[in-house]
């Protein structure tokens, strides 16, 4: 079956540092890939998505590229802010649109 | 504002009590979902409803029942709550495409449930 594996947290960074969160997947067919973000005390929000190989999703300074050859969808941001402190979830959808999440990675950005 | 509304936001139950978590969406989405979120385990799917009138089990359905009341509403019922059901519950909806075109989900803000 499908699965999503992402790096364990917490990831602790200083403000303006570069952030990378690794995500790899196994899936049959051609899933769509997503990054969701959960700020403290809130529900999940879609951060970005990519629907086919080599697509790059981007939003709020975050980027991720759908790499079919390495089955990866790593999240990056060049300069993080304290407000980026959150839990980040990598996810994929199967051909019927059902979403499957990774375990989540907590990111803590300090001033 | 359009979105997914969950009630209640917080609840404390005694072991053996029952309760229903309510969820409603106003985006005309076909599919709705219930997830639970536990530390270190991410979100796990409890039940989902691909369309009005259908429901299916997800990864962790034991101890729960659901009702897709109409296209807007999808409720989750705990018939006899257990401490293992202490969790944060999220409802979500999506405009499904059978071609898998990548429609993302919209989540509610969650219900934090404690069973003592």
Q: β-strands B31-38, B10-13: how paired?
A: unpaired
Q: β-strands B111-115, B10-13: how paired?
A: parallel
Taking only the tens place, the pLDDT of each residue in B58-81 is 989 999 999 998 999 999 999 999
Residues 48-77 of B with CB under 8 A from A: 48, 50
3-class DSSP state of A84:
helix
Is B40 a residue whose pLDDT tops 90? no
3-class DSSP state of A82:
helix
**Burial track B27-52 (b if 16+ CB lie within 10 A, e otherwise):** eebbbbbbbbbeeeebbbbbbbbbee
Look at residue B100 in the predicted model and tell me its pLDDT: 47
Is B101 a residue whose pLDDT tops 60? no
B63/A107 Cα distance (integer angstroms): 33
Token pair recorded at residue A110: 């300090």
Radius of gyration of chain B (CA): 14
Look at residue B97 in the predicted model and tell me its pLDDT: 59
User: Which among A32, A42, A46 has CB closest to B109?
Assistant: A42
Closest CA to B44 of B27, B62, B28: B62
Taking only the tens place, the pLDDT of each residue in B2-26 is 699 999 999 999 999 999 999 999 9
B105 Cβ under 8 Å from any chain A Cβ: yes
B47 Cβ under 8 Å from any chain A Cβ: no
Contacts of A94 in chain B (CB under 8 A): 100
What mean pLDDT do residues B33-39 have?
A: 92
Q: Do B105 and A98 make contact, defined as CB atoms within 8 angstroms?
A: no
| pLDDT tens series, chain A, 111 aa | 788 999 888 999 999 999 999 999 999 878 889 999 999 888 899 999 998 899 999 999 999 999 999 999 999 999 999 999 999 999 998 766 678 899 999 999 999
């Amino acid at each position: 079956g499908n699965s999503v594996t992402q790096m364990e947290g917490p990831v602790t960074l200083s403000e303006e540092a570069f952030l990378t969160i690794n995500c790899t997947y196994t899936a049959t067919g051609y899933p769509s890939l997503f990054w969701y973000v959960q700020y403290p005390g809130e529900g999940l929000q879609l951060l970005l998505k990519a629907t086919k190989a080599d697509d790059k999703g981007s939003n709020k300074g975050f980027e991720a590229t759908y790499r079919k050859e390495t089955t990866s969808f790593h999240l990056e941001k060049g300069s993080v802010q304290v407000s980026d402190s959150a839990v980040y979830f990598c996810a994929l959808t199967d051909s019927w649109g059902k979403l499957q999440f990774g375990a989540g990675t907590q990111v803590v950005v300090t001033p | 504002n359009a979105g997914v509304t969950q009630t209640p936001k917080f609840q404390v139950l005694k072991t053996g009590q029952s309760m229903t978590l309510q969820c409603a969406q106003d985006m005309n989405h076909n599919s709705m979902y219930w997830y639970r979120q536990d530390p270190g385990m991410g979100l796990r799917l409890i039940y989902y409803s691909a369309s009005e009138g259908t429901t299916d089990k997800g990864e962790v359905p034991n101890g729960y029942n659901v009702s897709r009341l109409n296209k807007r509403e999808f409720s989750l019922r705990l018939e006899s709550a257990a401490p293992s059901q202490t969790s944060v519950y999220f409802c979500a909806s999506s405009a499904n495409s059978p071609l898998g075109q990548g429609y993302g989900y919209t989540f509610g803000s969650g219900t934090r449930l404690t069973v003592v």
